[in-house]
């Protein structure tokens, strides 16, 4: 079973703080993703990575950066948190070699910025 | 530009009846479609998928239908159970790039009443 874990389930931060969200997967998947989920907007892609140290911007990268120093770990960084970044953050991993083409998601981090 | 749309934010059905969730897409390059189910405070879990070479895929109580000419897919749940109450997301992908990138719809909240 693929397991994707996220460092925190709930997080409360102040405006202007630097925030790190960590994601780890245990199935040696090449590709990893960060999404945010907001009511009525579905899941929107922030960044994805297709290899160590390789990354691509998604649809809403502004205000975020990412780091992938090891294959199993993909970090999302909010350089200076703002209230409009209050959201549910979801990490996912994907194996291009699998025929099912599904992404595996972590449990999510509910971030509140006050 | 919303490439994947779920136009019904919510749906309520009686236990034992059929639930039909709908999804429309605009990009003809999409060739793989997935449905995910999400409970509150949890990550999405994969439910069922369909390739564009098929028009139907069935897995137990869940069936996905694809109408390529109409760029429309639907998820049928028969019979519906209270445990099916969740948010359902459809997602689409163009597999040619093999990145695993998914475009998600806004989600439909299904409530199954006992």
Half-sphere exposure of B11 (CA within 13 A, CB side): 25
At B68-91, the pLDDT tens digits run 999 999 999 999 999 999 999 999
Q: Is B45 on the interface with A (CB under 8 A)?
A: yes
Mean pLDDT, rounded, of chain A: 93
Share of chain A above pLDDT 90, in %: 81
The alpha carbon of B16 is separated from its chain's Cα centroid by a whole number of angstroms, namely: 19
Q: Would the pLDDT of B95 be above 90? A: no
Token pair for B1:
């530009």
Give the confidence band of B6 by pLDDT, cuts at 50, 70, 90. very high
Alpha carbon distance A99, A81 (integer Å)? 38
Chain B contact for A43 (CB, 8 A cutoff)? yes
CB contact, 8 Å: B97 with chain A?
no
Contacts of B100 in chain A (CB under 8 A): 31, 33, 48, 94-96, 101, 103
Cα B52 to Cα B3, B34, B38, B49: the distances in Å are 16, 11, 24, 10
Q: Could you give the 3-state DSSP secondary structure of residue B27?
A: coil
Beta-carbon count within 10 A of A111 CB = 21
Classify A16 as helix, strand or coil: coil
- Which pair of tokens denotes residue B48? 């069922």
- Position A58 scores a pLDDT of 93
Q: State the first-to-last Cα distance of chain B, in angstroms, to the nearest integer.
A: 38
User: Average pLDDT, stretch B28-33?
Assistant: 92
Q: Scanning every residue of chain A, which has its alpha carbon at the shortest distance from the alpha carbon of B88?
A: A42
Tokens of A74: 């993909």
Residue-wise pLDDT tens digits, A28-37 = 899 999 999 9
Buried b / exposed e along A50-67 (16+ C-beta atoms within 10 A): beeeebeebeeeeebebb
Residues of A in contact with B107 (CB under 8 A): 40, 42
The average confidence (pLDDT) of chain B is 94
Q: Is A40 on the interface with B (CB under 8 A)?
A: yes
Q: Does A33 touch chain B (CB under 8 A)?
A: yes
The tens digit of pLDDT for each residue in A43-91 reads: 999 999 998 989 999 999 999 999 999 999 999 999 999 999 999 999 9
Phi, psi of B26 (to 5 degrees): -115, -25
- Is B105's pLDDT higher than 70? yes
Q: What is the C-alpha to C-alpha distance for residues A37 and B84, in angstroms, rounded to an integer?
A: 20
Q: Residue B89 and residue A42: Cβ atoms within 8 Å?
A: yes
State the average pLDDT over residues B30-42: 93
Nearest-angstrom CA–CA distance, B51 and B74: 13
Residue A2 binned pLDDT confidence (cut-offs 50, 70, 90)? low
Look at A43 and B104 and tell me if their CB atoms are within 8 Å: yes
Q: Is B109 exposed, middle or buried (0-12, 13-18, 19+ CB in 10 A)?
A: middle
* pLDDT score at B41: 82
Flag whether pLDDT at B58 surpasses 80: yes
């Amino acid at each position: 079973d693929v397991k994707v874990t996220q460092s925190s389930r709930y997080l409360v931060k102040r405006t202007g703080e630097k925030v790190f969200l960590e994601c780890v997967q245990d199935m040696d998947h090449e590709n990893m993703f960060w999404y945010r989920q907001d009511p009525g907007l579905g899941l929107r892609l922030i960044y994805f990575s297709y290899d160590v140290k390789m990354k691509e911007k998604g649809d809403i990268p502004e205000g975020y950066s990412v780091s992938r120093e090891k294959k199993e770990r993909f970090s999302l960084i909010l350089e200076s948190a703002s209230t409009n970044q209050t959201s549910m953050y979801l990490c996912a991993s994907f194996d291009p070699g699998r025929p099912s083409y599904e992404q595996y998601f972590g449990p999510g981090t509910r971030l509140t910025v006050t | 530009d919303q490439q994947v749309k779920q136009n019904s934010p919510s749906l309520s059905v009686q236990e034992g009846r059929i639930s039909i969730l709908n999804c429309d897409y605009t990009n003809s390059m999409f060739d793989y479609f997935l449905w995910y189910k999400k409970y509150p405070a949890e990550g999405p879990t994969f439910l069922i998928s369909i390739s564009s070479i098929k028009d139907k895929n069935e897995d137990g109580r869940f069936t996905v239908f694809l109408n390529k000419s109409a760029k429309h897919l639907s998820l049928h749940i028969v019979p519906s159970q209270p445990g099916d109450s969740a948010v359902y997301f459809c997602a689409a992908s163009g597999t040619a790039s093999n990145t695993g990138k998914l475009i998600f719809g806004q989600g439909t909240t299904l409530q199954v009443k006992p």
